[in-house]
Structure 1
């Protein structure tokens, strides 16, 4: 059913040339509609044909050395792939950006690289530590299979995306988009190719991390907006081809707006200080009448407001309500961070990851997931408040354990609720239980050399 799309994927991966930091995208131009890259964005960016040590090209990235984030990544959807849940700690970097004379012309694992050399012109994982931003891949791993999915986890494909926006709104939108596009390709017998470009709008006034050490501070630009443009090209019937785009503010509740590609070009031109921007040649059938159909799918699956302001009372919502009532009676299911219920056949658990998660359902679409907490976890944050019942103490892709607390904030947390549990998986000394000990915060000594850390339960009565 998806044989033509699969053949396209195989051809793209079979290029014999290795990935390089290039002066042009000629070696991986197949990821762009009509082999043409977007115009007007990041003219001084480094052009990367992304690949691993063994394999062909998986997508294309225009990377800003000045901002240490990508301007955009261009990729195609592989409809044969099952969705991929979770994240990975095996992040990659691109040696040739920081060391042009390097003979390594493919991405390498960050932990196997020379960090001091890499960080000269690239972001590294520690830049994201203790910030409220995720390493957000522009090209999502769930749109690819196996090695392609692994290749998405490179810091040249990632930008600082607000944790709430990334883990809830953008993640669910990516999952919805994938479901929608797979359904359309299926209905067209596999005779279509989907070209996607996801990009950033760098904010000149905001950088991370904010640290006291000058050389460690303000290295990575935070985008003000994240955007995606989609070109659906039917291979034989152009009446079935169409395009659309959307853009959202990089904020916890940044509203995501759906629009025609023409309007997205205009919006990005404004955000980029009136540069003339064109993402797809001819806007890829941007004059088609299919935007209303896409809007309807967005409204059903994302609960976005419709233009007329009507209240949503769709069959999807009714099914969701019945599902929630049924799941409430099932003792091993649980509420997720976004307020959905885990599916009956997939209760809240780690499922092989370093955090708790489960599959959730949107009507007929059942390949979305969300973070959750197992029943009766009872963990606390360092301020003494309990972690929210739908948000376990875990790393969530960062270098330390944290959770959302009952007062709506986020903080470092302890993995157990006893008198000797401190943050960062440390234990209080047996003769110094967790407490205030004359200060305004909970703490304890963690060894006999007067080292201490925050803890989570007041026990020094």
Structure 2
């Protein structure tokens, strides 16, 4: 009997070790600095050790069923992974949030789920449709490899993030963070661990879907702010350890500030206190993870260079990014066939490239649907290349126009070859045609108030 009881305990222990929605983060505590989760956030939120198909834990998330967004995702950084960000239409949900009795203890494909059950306590993809907000990943897929990258595409890891803020400003800071961490790890011979937490501050004045666009509106809270906290712990020499954070308003302007962990804690505490109308005390890392003002100044200098903030052009210009590089699949094209998709497949002969009721161009291939481009010649991309004749400027599911160029890359584009043509269908100010104007990228003022945009043709001025 004792042996049977012992066997039963072992089996139950093994089963519980696979649980996704957990009572504590003990099973995936390795994603937190000193195995300690952040303090002061919603203790009624669901704790998730994120797992894909019973294999490994890839990160940890704290998910608010009230707001239907994660309050944070905690993850580590693998510098050996490609920095190419992935895309997918294969999104996952966590069944145990809406069905605690579910025996499925890992994320599952949203398409295989009963949305009427799932939507009770979590967001679904249709909540984001035509909302102007992206399904913004807190744990970025570019920080992971292979299966870990797939595991980031779950709706328990996303929040409604303004499309412009997400695709331009926040993405640029993610890229800068990745470059910075990779350089530090290389210089330290890999003898360090990086603990990162990216989170939200739920807003109090906006939800999606908007009224009039859905039969079940205002289900998902739009965050007022998005933030990231970083703890770099050297394994051999604490003098090389440091921490910092940054936070930005979830708005198109991209107002993001880098600061110490203690200052980030204070700002989050104030924001949550205002939201909940009661004092809150939030702490990201126990002992603040080597918070140091001198190191912070050095980090700020590095980030200024990585993000390439233009100097002396006003606050709006300072928050623009240098590059709008999208990392979709490289096009494999053949000049003899005018309608290849972005993945290199051919449109079916009975379903040529077109909008087909959508606001972007697509077609059916032998492998399913894919984005494609209408034939139009003459557009030029921001990188100086002309768009491919059969992959010209279009939105293709984004809120701005871009195209593939002959070198296989892709970028935002102008729609003419004029010296006054800028991206996003803007026109350069009559007294300031397109040029470098002291910077290493083409740009121009679009009016007499120092508003500017990227442009495409060097007019030699």
**What band does the TM-score fall into relative to the shorter chain?**
0.5 to 0.7
Deviations 1:121-156 (A, max 9, x none): 010000000111000010001111111110000000
Deviations 1:404-431 (A, max 9, x none): 95269xxxxxxxxxxxxxxxxxxxxxxx
Deviations 1:193-228 (A, max 9, x none): 000000000002110011337751000000000000
Q: Contact 2:58–2:151 at 8 Å: present in 1 too?
A: yes
State the shift of 1:388 in Å: 6.6
Measured in 1, the distance between the counterparts of 2:93 and 2:393 equals 35
User: Matches of residues 291-440 of structure 1 in structure 2 within 5 Å?
Assistant: 291-304=296-309, 340=323, 352=343, 374-375=387-388, 390=402, 406=425
Measured in 1, the distance between the counterparts of 2:402 and 2:41 equals 40
Unaligned runs of 5+ in 2: 1-13, 274-278, 315-319, 333-340, 345-369, 374-381, 405-409, 411-422, 428-461
State the shift of 1:293 in Å: 1.8
State the shift of 1:84 in Å: 2.7
Which residue is 1:279 aligned to? Answer: 284
The 10-residue stretch of structure 1 (121-130 or 292-301) with the greater mean CA deviation from structure 2: 292-301
Deviations 1:66-118 (A, max 9, x none): 00000000001012211233411111000000000000010001111111111
The 10-residue stretch of structure 1 (49-58 or 62-71) with the greater mean CA deviation from structure 2: 49-58
* 1:183 partnered with 2:196: no
Measured in 2, the distance between the counterparts of 1:151 and 1:123 equals 17
Distance 1:388 1:72, change over 3 A: closer
Instruction: Tell me the secondary structure at the aligned position of residue 294 of structure 2.
Output: coil
Instruction: Tell me the secondary structure at the aligned position of residue 272 of structure 1.
Output: helix
User: Matches of residues 90-109 of structure 1 in structure 2 within 5 Å?
Assistant: 90-109=90-109
Measured in 2, the distance between the counterparts of 1:310 and 1:36 equals 43
Instruction: Tell me the secondary structure at the aligned position of residue 265 of structure 1.
Output: helix
Distance 1:46 1:373, change over 3 A: farther
Which residue is 1:425 aligned to? Answer: none
Which residue is 2:458 aligned to? Answer: none
* 1:172 partnered with 2:172: yes
Q: Contact 1:299–1:305 at 8 Å: present in 2 too?
A: no
Measured in 2, the distance between the counterparts of 1:276 and 1:342 equals 39
Instruction: Tell me the secondary structure at the aligned position of residue 216 of structure 1.
Output: coil
Instruction: Tell me the secondary structure at the aligned position of residue 120 of structure 2.
Output: coil
Instruction: Tell me the secondary structure at the aligned position of residue 59 of structure 1.
Output: strand
Which residue is 1:72 aligned to? Answer: 72
Unaligned runs of 5+ in 1: 1-13, 312-336, 358-368, 382-386, 397-403, 409-461
Alignment: residue pair count: 339
Instruction: Tell me the secondary structure at the aligned position of residue 352 of structure 1.
Output: coil
Which residue is 1:209 aligned to? Answer: 209
Measured in 2, the distance between the counterparts of 1:43 and 1:16 equals 21
Which residue is 2:139 aligned to? Answer: 139
Q: TM-score normalized by structure 1?
A: 0.67
Q: Contact 1:15–1:56 at 8 Å: present in 2 too?
A: no
Q: Contact 1:244–1:259 at 8 Å: present in 2 too?
A: yes
Which residue is 2:350 aligned to? Answer: none
Match of 2:294 among 289, 298, 303: 289
Which residue is 2:418 aligned to? Answer: none
Which residue is 1:219 aligned to? Answer: 219
Measured in 1, the distance between the counterparts of 2:299 and 2:342 equals 33
Which residue is 1:326 aligned to? Answer: none
Distance 1:165 1:117, change over 3 A: same
State the shift of 1:288 in Å: 5.5
Deviations 1:408-461 (A, max 9, x none): 9xxxxxxxxxxxxxxxxxxxxxxxxxxxxxxxxxxxxxxxxxxxxxxxxxxxxx
State the shift of 1:53 in Å: 1.2
